[in-house]
Amino acid sequence: MHAIQTSGNCIRNVTADQFSGVAADEVEDARPWCEIIRQWSTFHPEFAFLPRKFKIAVCGSEQDRAAVMVHDIGLQIVKDPEGNTAFKVIVGGGLGRTPVIGSVIHDALPPQHLLTYLEAIVRVYNQLGRRDNKFKARIKILVRAMGADAFKAKVEEEWAFIKDGQLSLPEEEVARAKSFFTAPDYLALQNEDLQAVALESPAFARWLAHNVHAHKQDGYAIVTLSLKTTGVAPGDITAEQFVAVANLAEEYGFGEARSTHQQNMVLPDVQQKQLFSLWQRLESLELASPTVGTMNDIICCPGGDFCSLANAKSIPIAEAIQRRFDDLDYLYDLGEIELNISGCMNACGHHHIGNIGILGVDKKGQEFYQVSLGGSQGLNASLGKILGPSFAQEDIPDVIEKILNCYVERRQPDEDFLDTFNRIGLEPFKERVYA
């Protein structure tokens, strides 16, 4: 993360999967490619005044954790038929007032052409994107107006002029970028059997099941620190906790801590045999809520409490939901549910791609909340469908409870919320809520 080009109509901070470099399902580390893109885009003289802000995400894992389908450009690292690194290029995604799922315009771009192809995409956008209306200036509007095939044809036409030019990536430049992201000095460890410890401590077992993730190095684990304590704004961390996390990163890893777009933090390299000790420390810091991946792992924008753009408050809604559904066994029985809250149509809380999305709206000076269902991020991303008329703030916990009751009654064995919604559709939920 850097503070260059953070607010202008330019290419902003390039983002990646929070597990990059350590994920067990990783195809290739995304971080070197992010660094190459960062160096290309920073102070780019041609792209300093684009029609609107521009965001790029890169994911190098089988499971998309970087939301590549809803960025201006999303890059998914894949392997071509010969087993070589390539990029699936997705263009024109975005949320906000006009939510759009991106379109694939290249299935397997060779890495030596990465920057030339990106240059062609942004150049076409810079030339043809609207500048008369900021609400219609993002690349998603251009791609949708032209159609993905026509946009791709225009990119390919521009690309032909620069494909083999100065921006072609030689292997030594890729190797230089990769040299910045070498593996730390892992010990030669065996995977630990923590079942006996988990049986002695049910609380540790819950945390182990939900907050600890598979690492590609034997004997190590990835740990997500939950910043979703009930009564605290989701994603908030105190100065004292932050200092403590820095110390834990040194003591239980290689001095690295990461931030996630789910508003949590990650310690990427924890020895499995130290997990119980780390959990005890996190418990004392109130950073060990075993709710990662559950409905109470809420993504929530600052809302009307802090943001001058918001139509309604977000943080009290998150707290009300967390307090209503505080039974861990019930949350675990529900399975993975992504609940996202935005205080206005700018969609900073990504409500469009929440399995359950909540949007604050203004109705004659009063704060109301619109609910949508069926959104999802990932490579099969989908946009939520609006349930119906909006609700008063005090009604939201009851609305969520009716939605969950409908899901529990209608789901099939081992079926998660999104699968149930896709199978039965919106109407059963709508009938239950508005009955």
Residues 75 and 160 in one domain: yes
Residues 117 and 215 in one domain: no
CA-to-CA distance for 251 and 246, rounded, in angstroms? 9
Residue 56, in any domain of the structure: yes
Residues 144 and 265 in one domain: no
pLDDT of residue 40: 97
Domain total of the chain:
3
Residues 75 and 35 in one domain: yes
Task: Measure the N-to-C terminal CA separation of the chain; round to a whole number of Å.
Answer: 47
Cα→Cα distances 176→88, 125, 181, 208, Å:
23, 30, 10, 37
Question: What are the DSSP calls for 113-170, one per residue?
Answer: GHHHHHHHHHHHHHHHS--S-GGG-SHHHHHHHH-HHHHHHHHHHHHHHHTTSTT---
Residues 318 and 398 in one domain: yes
- Classify the C-alpha dihedral 236-238-241-242 as positive or negative: positive
User: Of 226, 251, 284, which residue is a domain's last?
Assistant: 284
CA-to-CA distance for 186 and 171, rounded, in angstroms? 27
pLDDT of residue 2: 74
Residue 140's CATH number: 3.30.413.10
pLDDT of residue 7: 85
Residues 158 and 204 in one domain: no
Question: Do residues 372 and 429 make contact, with C-beta atoms less than 8 angstroms apart?
Answer: no
Residues 224 and 324 in one domain: no
pLDDT of residue 212: 98
Residues 65 and 159 in one domain: yes
Range of the domain at 129: 15-181
pLDDT of residue 336: 96
Residue 82, in any domain of the structure: yes
Residue 188, in any domain of the structure: no
Residue 423, in any domain of the structure: yes
CA-to-CA distance for 194 and 273, rounded, in angstroms? 8
| CA within 13 Å, CB half, 297 | 29
Residues 34 and 174 in one domain: yes
Residue 384, in any domain of the structure: yes
Question: What are the DSSP calls for 70-105, one per residue?
Answer: GSSEEEEEEE-TTS-EEEEEEES-B-TTS-B--EEE
Q: What is the pTM of this model?
A: 0.95
Residue among 359, 326, 231 nearest 286 (CA): 231
Residues 277 and 170 in one domain: no
Residue 186, in any domain of the structure: no
Residues 177 and 250 in one domain: no
User: Of 284, 314, 349, which residue is a domain's last?
Assistant: 284
Per the DSSP assignment, residues forming a β-bridge with 74 are 57, 90
Residue 187, in any domain of the structure: no
Q: Within the chain, which residues score under 50 in pLDDT?
A: none
pLDDT tens digits, one per residue of 142-175: 999 999 999 999 999 999 999 999 999 999 999 9
| CA within 13 Å, CB half, 319 | 11
pLDDT of residue 164: 94
Residue 6, in any domain of the structure: no
Residue 204's CATH number: 3.90.480.20
CA-to-CA distance for 53 and 67, rounded, in angstroms? 17
Residues 360 and 213 in one domain: no
